């Protein structure tokens, strides 16, 4: 779930950055650069272009920092709700940890009639998947 958000946000940010810089650069870039460095010595022109590139890199750093903060916030929100969501999907409520939830699902699976075994097994797999995502989210949230 987090990976899906991460990939979609990354694609959106890349498209926005490309559109923000590529369209004006293509339409106005040639004349902008020409007017910017026209009448300058090669050293001055290189310095002007270096300043512009530094400004562009600074903007990219700000975007990366915002994305990182957003990813951490999403991870923390997921970590806060993961156990209750897992309990609901696992069919067992009122547990204090993923280990307890997994143990109770295994107990229910093993003590239920044979025709319910697959249902409990599917729930167990969902909860284990959520547990893995929870561990990743907690790790990211603590950074």
Per-residue pLDDT tens digits for 33-73: 666 667 777 777 778 778 888 888 888 888 888 988 999 99
Structure tokens at 113: 């009639």
Q: What angle do CA 138, 62, 77 make, to 5 degrees?
A: 25
Residue 8 tokens read as 């979609």
Which tens digits make up the pLDDT trace of 80-131?
899 899 988 888 888 899 999 999 999 999 999 999 999 999 999 999 999 9
Q: In sequence order, what are the residues at sequence separation of 6 or more whose Cβ sits closer than 8 angstroms to the Cβ of residue 106?
A: 124
Q: Where are the domains of the chain?
A: 2-141
């Amino acid at each position: 779930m987090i990976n899906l958000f991460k990939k979609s946000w990354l694609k959106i940010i890349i498209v926005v950055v490309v559109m923000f810089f590529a369209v004006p650069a293509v339409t106005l870039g040639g004349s902008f650069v020409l007017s910017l460095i026209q009448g300058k010595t090669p050293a001055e022109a290189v310095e002007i272009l270096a300043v512009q590139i530094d400004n562009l890199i600074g903007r990219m750093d700000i975007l990366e920092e915002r994305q990182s903060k957003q990813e951490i916030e999403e991870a923390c929100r997921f970590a806060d709700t993961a156990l209750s969501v897992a309990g609901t999907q696992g069919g067992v409520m009122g547990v204090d940890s993923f280990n307890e939830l997994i143990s109770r699902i295994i107990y229910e699976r093993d003590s239920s009639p044979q025709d319910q075994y697959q249902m409990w097994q599917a729930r167990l797999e969902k909860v284990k998947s959520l547990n893995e995502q929870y561990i990743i989210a907690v790790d990211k949230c603590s950074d």
